[in-house]
Amino acid sequence: MDDEKLNGHIDDLCNAILRLRTVEQCRAFLEDLCTYKEVEQMAKRIYAAELFLRGDTYNDIIAATELSSATISRVSRALSHGSGGYKSVLGD
């Protein structure tokens, strides 16, 4: 699939997410779209971002989330140099 077509599908996914109005709808959508493990990993990444914004250390975040140090590092980089996605949903 070419990049332009893929970007259109990503936009479609974003628009689908924006149509969700309740936690129940969102849970049902994620359950249909992703495996449980994928949803779990995304939830842990959001929690790790919250902990970083709160000022917790890498070791504290690893202990709290059980994510790998590589994933924790990726979350940290996204908070520092990413597109602002985490901060847009978590505040700053």
**pLDDT tens column, 36-62:** 999 999 999 999 999 999 999 999 999
Prediction pTM value: 0.89
Contact 67, 61 (CB under 8 A): yes
Contact 72, 63 (CB under 8 A): no
pLDDT for res 1: 86
Query: What are the boundaries of each domain within the chain?
Result: 1-33, 35-92
pLDDT for res 92: 62
Extract the residue ranges of the chain whose pLDDT is less than 50: none
Q: What is the CA radius of gyration of the chain?
A: 15
